[in-house]
Amino acid sequence: MAPAVRARRSDRRDRPVVRRRHGQQLDLRWVLIHLIEECARHLGHLDLLREAVDSRTGC
C-alpha cells in the first residue's frame, strides 16, 4: 500500500465522531480502545466462571 494512502487511512482514527461523552467529543481511536478494553474485561469474567465450573485454571 502506498504511504499516502496509509497516511490518509490513519488520519480517520482521530476524526471526531457524532456522539459526545461527558461533554467531550469522541474520536474513533477512543471508541476502538474502549471496545478492546470492554471485550478483555468480559473475557476475564467468562474465564472466572469457567474456572468455577470445571475447577481448572489456565487454558
Q: Give the pLDDT of residue 38.
A: 92
Q: Which of 36, 20, 18, 16 is nearest to 28 (CA)?
A: 16
Which residues are CB-contacts of 29 (< 8 A; sequence separation ≥ 6)? 13, 14
Distance CA 41, CA 39 (A): 5
H helices present in 1-59, as ranges: 3-11, 28-54
pLDDT band at residue 47 using 50, 70 and 90 as cut-offs: confident
**pTM higher than 0.75, yes or no?**
no
Distance CA 4, CA 21 (A): 32
